[in-house]
A = this chain, B = another copy of it.
Amino acid sequence: MKKSRKTTLSDLSKALNLNISTISRALNDHPKVNETTKKLIKEKAKELDYRPNPLAQGLQKQNTKTIGVIFPTFDTNFFFRVLKGIEKMMHESGYQIIISTAGESRIQEKKAIQSLSSYHVSGIIVFLSFEHEDPSFLIDIQDEGIPLLFMDRIYEEIDANYVISDDFVGMYDTVNQFISKGTKNIIHLQGNLQISTAFNRLLGYKEALLKNKISLNPDFIIPCQHQTEVKTGLRNLFSKYALEDIDLITCYNDYYAFQALEFLKENNIRIPQDIQLLGFANEPLSVYTSPKLSTINQPAEEMGVIASEMILQEIQHNQQGESYQFLTKKMSTFYLKRESTLL
């Protein structure tokens, strides 16, 4: 039950009768170290299973090879897939990932980000869910030299890298396509508009109607703060409208669509014959429903990869003192027909 300590540089230094700084240099492949001693040191290091202490390194260099990631919650699979992409890239580049979820309030969100910054992470990939009236705390973090990359949401005030999926275009194009093929009465199950993705998807829906000169029926936009409200919303709708009045239901996301699917099935409404149903996000489970859910694909994992590449780029540039030009990368979405739609 020996509480063994990790071997440190000074352990090596003693073991080899060399100065600690020589050891340090050798291990960092400093050019001005004798090749033979370097080899000697490295061997000894391996023998004693030396592993540098990232805390000490971080304290010294003000930079740990660690990337922070902030999620609003672990609720949807989408984040999971993004994370997988991030994970892959970062580990390839030798970075650790430290994850924090922001919880349910903007105060917690702020705290989570600040806590990450105090860990001297090399950069933070941020999914923000709340509207921050005063985003200056984000700018403060950038000023401390920590690159921020925002996912899926744009802040006009903040100069940074952005990776977003094209929510607007995805919805717009798809609805447009349905209309042009004769679909008339289209519902939208709208998400929480505080969240920009919900806002943009709704916007895509509206614009597509507008473009086709279809007047907006307010009853056809059903606001749901959460997927649990979907069924009630639909019940209301159908208390006022007949089955024939509705052709297609579009949704803020796949989870909303799953709820709608259940509702329709419970009421013996056939999909897609009676009503078509369209999700958004292409969650992996959407292939398992029956009928299989048609949806709009979002390249989640790829978004993670791209985000990682971008923030790594920025980090590198900063380290070398070069200037860096921020980018906004829009990931394209596309309509994925399965069984819950006809077209």
Contact = CB atoms under 8 A, between A and B. Distances in A.
Interface string A54-90: 1110110000101000000011010011011001000
A58 B143 CA distance: 24
A119 B96 contact: yes
Given A56-B59, A77-B77, A288-B261, A4 B119 contact: no
A3 interface: yes
A122 to B, nearest CB: 13
A6 B120 CA distance: 10
Contacts of A56: 59
A192 interface: no
Nearest to A79: B80
Contacts of A288: 258, 261-262, 285, 288-289
A118 interface: yes
Contacts of A120: 53, 55
A302 to B, nearest CB: 15
A95 to B, nearest CB: 11
Interface residues of A, number: 50
A304 B228 CA distance: 25
A1, A3, A55 pick with most chain B CB within 10 angstroms: A55
Contacts of A83: 74
A55 B64 contact: yes
Given A6-B118, A80-B80, A285-B288, A97 B96 contact: no
A114 B59 contact: no
A99 interface: yes
B2 A143 contact: yes
A272 interface: no
A22 interface: no
A290 interface: yes
A5 interface: yes
A144 B4 contact: yes
Interface string A181-219: 000000000000000000000000000000000000000
Interface in A250-268: 258, 261-262, 265
Nearest to A292: B262
A294 to B, nearest CB: 15
Contacts of A115: 51, 96
A24 interface: no
Contact of A143 (B1, B51, B140, B284): B1
Contacts of A64: 55
Contacts of A4: 140, 143-144
Contacts of A101: 87, 91
Contact of A3 (B80, B144, B290): B144
Contact of A96 (B59, B100, B262, B285): B100
9 contacts: A4-B143, A6-B118, A51-B118, A74-B80, A77-B77, A77-B80, A96-B100, A288-B289, A290-B290
